[in-house]
Amino acid sequence: MAKILDNQKICVVGLGYIGLPTAAILASRGYDVHGFEVDPKAVGTINSGRAHVVEPDLDILVRAAVQTRKLRAATEPQAADIFLLCVPTPFKDDHVPDLSYVQQATRSICPLIQKGNLVILESTSPPGTTEMIAEIVSQETGLTTEDVFFAHAPERVLPGKILREVVENDRIVGGINQVSTDVCVEFYRTFVSGEIHETNARTAEMAKLVENAYRDVNIAFANELSLLANELELDVWRVIGLANCHPRVDILLPGPGVGGHCIAVDPWFLVHAGPSATPLIRTARQVNEAKPLHVVDRIEQRAKRFKQPRIACLGLAYKPDIDDLRESPAVRIVDELLRRGVGELSIVEPYLESHDRYSLTSLEDALKGADIIVVLVAHRAFKTIPPHLLAEKTIVDVCGALRG
């Protein structure tokens, strides 16, 4: 154990929304951090002292880490004492987990792994993934779980608050065996102030999936209420507000669907692991995945009132005040509107300078020319739109941004 903690070299594999903030924090704590990222443009941005993802204060931390030479990015991995895997874990057709990024990341570091190293999987993954990593390392190098420590420590952070939550949130750490758990816990205690909960790798993997499935089920209930309220011509926001006056009721607010890499993906990992045991989780996913099409139907109905409807679509991100479009229901809605040819669209996303498929418009220009205003994301900029700019417009506010 002392060997890992005495040495200071860490290789972070994947410098995205989780990997880069984690790498910058570790560098700020005195570790020598090598970041491995396959995107050369991102590598260049990081090495110039800037962050290629939007996150409050991340630019400042990256700049300091690069200037002090504690953080360096490259398109190849480097030998280290600790390898931290922070790569995507999406799903393939029929919602089958796609572990190809984890497999590629593991194989990329195999030539560098030595006896006594610690390999940590932070990516949210199906139960058994950490064991798969250990098996790949064993096949490629001959090193076993007696030689190398393997553990899962799933990230549990909220975009927009990542730098604080990486340090302050409780962490679950599950090793492939007890000594791996002990070594990994010791490492996280060097920079995490939250409580660290020890378990085994499979339990840690499932616990993270359960967290997001729980949230997905609760969001699905709110989204289903919004569909019912729409049919009954009731104000769902008012209904939920009144129901929440009960001391033991806390219903979430509805939206256009569910996005992001976690909640929109992770429940399917549980469904895949036990299809017959997860009908509620599957149904919740289906409710949330269908919600964007219901929103498009509502917009299309309102567009029929106009000869040549001009529609302002406000927001593309999967949640407010970030630039992350992964699994975004807003993107699905815009794509479906374009596919159906529903009016002339003006698309606004204040957190993006450009988009590879859409021509983005300023908020002022979009509002000025619109017959229909569709608020898809509750960005701060949309909540403060002056009322006179909304006058005589048809409003479809699917996230409650304009309430009050």
Question: What confidence tens digit (pLDDT) does each residue in 232-268 have?
Answer: 999 999 999 999 999 999 999 999 999 988 899 999 9
Residue 143, phi then psi, degrees to nearest 5: -80, 135
If asked whether residues 192 and 326 sit together in one domain, one would say no
CB 190 within 8 A of CB 22: no
| Contacts of 245 by beta carbon, 8 Å cutoff, 6+ apart | none
The C-alpha atoms of residue 108 and residue 74 are separated, in whole angstroms, by 13
Give the predicted TM-score (pTM) of the model: 0.89
CATH number at residue 94: 3.40.50.720
262 counts as catalytic: yes
Nearest to 365 by CA among 349, 379, 348: 348
Residue 348 placed within a domain? yes
Same-domain status, 113 and 13: yes
3-state DSSP assignment of residue 116: coil
Indicate whether 97 and 34 sit together in one domain. yes
Residue 111 has pLDDT above 70, yes or no: yes
Pair 68, 179 in one domain: yes
Range(s) of the domain holding residue 92: 2-201
pLDDT at residue 78 tops 50: yes
Active site residue: 86, 184, 208, 399, which one? 208
312 occurs within a structural domain:
yes
Residue found by looking up tokens 């975004």 in the block: 328
The position carrying tokens 């030539």 is: 111
Instruction: Identify the active-site residue in 11, 86, 184, 262.
Output: 262
140 and 262: one domain? no
Does the active-site annotation cover 208? yes
Q: Are residues 189 and 263 in the same domain?
A: no
216 in a domain, yes or no? no
Same domain, yes or no: 251 and 153: no
Q: Which of 46-55, 156-165, 235-244 has the lowest mean pLDDT?
A: 156-165
CA 21, 331, 291: angle at the middle one, nearest 5? 110
The answer to whether position 359 is within a domain reads yes
Task: Decide if 210 is inside a domain.
Answer: no
Domain presence at residue 225:
no
**Domain tally for the chain?**
2
